[in-house]
Structure 1
Amino acid sequence: MVHLPGPLTRLDPARLSRLFTSRLRSPQLTSRLGVLLGAAVAVCLLTGYLSHAIQHPPAWFYWPSRPVNLYRVTQGLHVATGLAIVPLLAAKLWSVYPKLFRWPPFRDAVHAIERLSLFLLVAAALFQVTTGILNIALWYSPMSFFFTTAHYWTAWIFAGSLLIHIGVKLPIVRRALAAPARPAPPTGMTRRGLFAAVGAAVAAITVATVGQTLRPLAGLSVLGPRDPRIGPQGLPVNQTAAAAGVAAAATDPGYRLEVAGPGGTLRLSLAELAALAQHTAQLPITCVEGWSATATWTGVPIRDLVTAVGGHDGHSVRVTSLQQNSLYRVSTLPPPHAADPLTLLALRVNGEPLDLDHGYPCRLIAPNRPGVLQTKWVARIEVLP
């Protein structure tokens, strides 16, 4: 057994916290870090909710089909700010953590509520950052829960506890930001040096990952799990046909696409689809994990198929994949996307027939949509009432 020196064995939590003090810590430092962290969190929460609403739209929600790169920008911001939060959150927690050891832990009922909200805030922040990074890396084995649902509802817990925290601390923050700066410590790191170090960490993390969205920086993004230049036909894939269990059905010579609407049902072979009027569009694939890549797609406009079975531009369209047992087997195109001439049932990409891993024999590609909704290995298209 290892015995601590005599004085340490008698320390209570309050005395222990004083062993880890720094003259850099002050309400002003914490407040400035909090403002920076709050701005990043606001962007992350807003863009994260937007992505969720696009995938699970409430009745009031409207998402346009143009500009075609809008989701690419919003989701890129979500992932970039989520990663930038890591050094900001670490610095903010460092600036206040001695207070977590104060004894007694709360003075009265009001203080107990404040401390509980603080616990929820810190726990939710760490959960969101950790699970977000695991999702970006497509590393789901450490998570025994469905990431999307847990990430979404924990974000609401985080937002609520953050509002309580801001309400409690706002007078302190206002006084701290208005107060004159404290003299810098005579030795060691200065406050300016601390902010420079945090800023450098944010910049390094951003440059090392944002190339997943900004292709010119792809070569510098050494921490990005996806290189947008690498994959079949020059495009990354998250799930192969083998992993999805569709290889046999997708390559079946008897494949027929079923298109159903108020005017009847068509069953079209791949050759019959290729014989229809084709349209070419340059559109990005943008995945929720943060990577995106632009490609040139060629195929049949969805609106032409809708018209062929008696539909019109006001209809929504349900697209179903050959893939079984997937939460994203079915996606729905709202009217703005279904009617957009850039929304295609793609047969070719970058001048070549679709690779099996990119959705052969045909896949959905629509402007301004998450990649998870760009259904691959399409089996059926249905015009909804």
Structure 2
Amino acid sequence: MKIPSEDSFTSRLRSAAVAARVGMWLGICFLVALVTGVISHYAQVDHQPVPLPASPSRLYQLTQGLHVAAGTAAIPLLLIKLWVVFPKLFQPMPRRVREALPTALERGSIAILVSTSIVQLTTGLLNVAQWYPWGFSFRNTHFALAFVAVGALLIHIAVKLPVVRDALTGDIDDTSNDRPNAVQAGPVSRRGVLALAGTSAAAAAFLYTAGTIPGVGRLAALSSRSRAHGIPINRTARSAGVVAAASSSAYRLEVVHGAVTRSLTREDMLAMRQRTHILPIACVEGWSVAGEWGGVLLRDLLDLVDAPRGREVRVRSIQTFSASSDTVLPPNFADDDRTLLALHLDGETLSMDHGYPTRLIAPDRPGVMQTKWVSRIEVLS
């Protein structure tokens, strides 16, 4: 099989004018995904040096939705960008070092960008399916590779900056930066390619994040979930192995502060003052749905053991094998008057899959940190 040369590609659509514009959109998506990804990663860190704010309650819902939408939209943009610049990969390497170094940096940065993007996409989709056939931490690896991808993109931009600047300031049909043999008209115009790129990016983002939009959740083909009370369920009680313990009459919630411990049944909590708040469950995978949660204020439970304000609180679940079975609430969340040990959802008894007998629900927290099947609350010193 003969390897094609750069001269084999004659379409005018494979131009710097198109590549620069698609690349600009791709860069914006990468930047949004990076910034919001840093926020999400920090939100899941125990013992935050500077706690994130508890208000507005939907801030994480917004930032994580943007993160997933931007990351998903970047996929078709990256593919179209690669299609446009594909002929450049067959250019012979210059013989002079001064000319060869920028070419090597350009091709190396593209190779790193493409490879890390493929890994990010693949592991991200497997994370949606909650299947982890690897031995490393998805969250830490996904976080680290994001910086690698953005670094490769910045190197690529720096090498190509003069051409990018000329292409963006010129007309879309300008041919001054085209390859000499790119003279054949394509089946559509250059504006048509850009329209396809924008439409594909928007469609991909919508299919992933439609679960956050009332009335069209069934269209969220890339982030579908089983639902109860209209709220998706990532992990059922059966898959978590908690059905027997959660439904047992021996269940107790322990509230601990130093040497002081209170042990409460669900009936004990129902006898306490009840609060109701509308708060979202915002998942790291991008979907989010609000519900009306009713239950006991966490601060009221802490007062039972004379816990002072301004302390971190560790919340433990009956399940023991999941990363979400143990979470630490920063002081501002523990003392917030919207943070509940929920007993009801939308006016009905909390279902087993949503965390019966009780679950944590706090404002502006990742869904993975909203611990279900809570068994112990411990005030940290």
- TM-score by length of structure 1 reads 0.89
Shift of 1:68: 0.9
Q: Deviations over 1:328-380 (max 9, x none)?
A: 21101101111111100011111111111111111000011011000001110
Residue 96 of structure 1 pairs with residue 85 of structure 2: yes
Residue matched to 2:379: 383
CA distance in 2, matches of 1:250, 1:130: 35
Task: Tell me the secondary structure at the aligned position of residue 323 of structure 2.
Answer: coil
Shift of 1:33: 1.0
CA distance in 2, matches of 1:35, 1:102: 23
Task: Tell me the secondary structure at the aligned position of residue 113 of structure 2.
Answer: helix
Residue matched to 2:286: 290
Residue 260 of structure 1 pairs with residue 256 of structure 2: yes
Residue matched to 1:46: 35
Residue matched to 2:178: none
Residue 130 of structure 1 pairs with residue 122 of structure 2: yes
Aligned AA (1:38): G
Q: 1:161 to 1:222 in 2, by over 3 A?
A: closer
Larger mean CA deviation between 165-174 and 243-252 belongs to 165-174
Residue 156 of structure 1 pairs with residue 152 of structure 2: no
Q: 1:186 to 1:167 in 2, by over 3 A?
A: closer
Task: Tell me the secondary structure at the aligned position of residue 288 of structure 1.
Answer: coil
Shift of 1:187: 5.4
Contact 1:240 1:357 in 2 (8 A): yes
Residue matched to 1:6: none
Which structure carries more relative contact order (alpha carbon 8 Å, separation 6+)?
2
Residue matched to 1:325: 321
Task: Tell me the secondary structure at the aligned position of residue 312 of structure 1.
Answer: coil
* Aligned length, in residue pairs: 370
Residue matched to 1:121: 113
Q: Which runs of 5+ in 2 are unaligned?
A: 176-182
Larger mean CA deviation between 237-246 and 201-210 belongs to 201-210
Q: Deviations over 1:289-345 (max 9, x none)?
A: 111111111111011111221223211111000101222211011011111111000
CA distance in 2, matches of 1:268, 1:208: 44
CA distance in 1, matches of 2:186, 2:107: 34
Q: 1:164 to 1:186 in 2, by over 3 A?
A: closer
Shift of 1:105: 8.4
Map of 1:63-212 to 2, 5 A cutoff? Answer: 63-104=52-93, 108=97, 110-111=101-102, 112-141=104-133, 145-180=136-171, 181-182=173-174, 186=185, 188-212=187-211
Residue 251 of structure 1 pairs with residue 251 of structure 2: no
CA distance in 1, matches of 2:58, 2:329: 17
Residue matched to 2:348: 352
CA distance in 1, matches of 2:259, 2:277: 28
Q: 1:306 to 1:21 in 2, by over 3 A?
A: farther
Task: Tell me the secondary structure at the aligned position of residue 231 of structure 1.
Answer: strand
Q: 1:248 to 1:57 in 2, by over 3 A?
A: closer
Aligned AA (1:210): T
Contact 1:21 1:98 in 2 (8 A): no
CA distance in 1, matches of 2:8, 2:265: 74
Residue matched to 1:4: none
Contact 2:29 2:70 in 1 (8 A): yes
Shift of 1:238: 0.7
CA distance in 1, matches of 2:240, 2:377: 20
Task: Tell me the secondary structure at the aligned position of residue 299 of structure 1.
Answer: strand
Larger mean CA deviation between 181-190 and 235-244 belongs to 181-190
Contact 2:315 2:377 in 1 (8 A): yes
Task: Tell me the secondary structure at the aligned position of residue 22 of structure 2.
Answer: helix
- TM-score by length of structure 2 reads 0.90
Q: How much identity, in percent, do the aligned residues show?
A: 45
Aligned AA (2:151): G
Residue 225 of structure 1 pairs with residue 216 of structure 2: no
Shift of 1:41: 1.0
Shift of 1:53: 0.7
CA distance in 1, matches of 2:140, 2:101: 32
Shift of 1:242: 1.1
CA distance in 2, matches of 1:363, 1:187: 58
Task: Tell me the secondary structure at the aligned position of residue 364 of structure 2.
Answer: coil
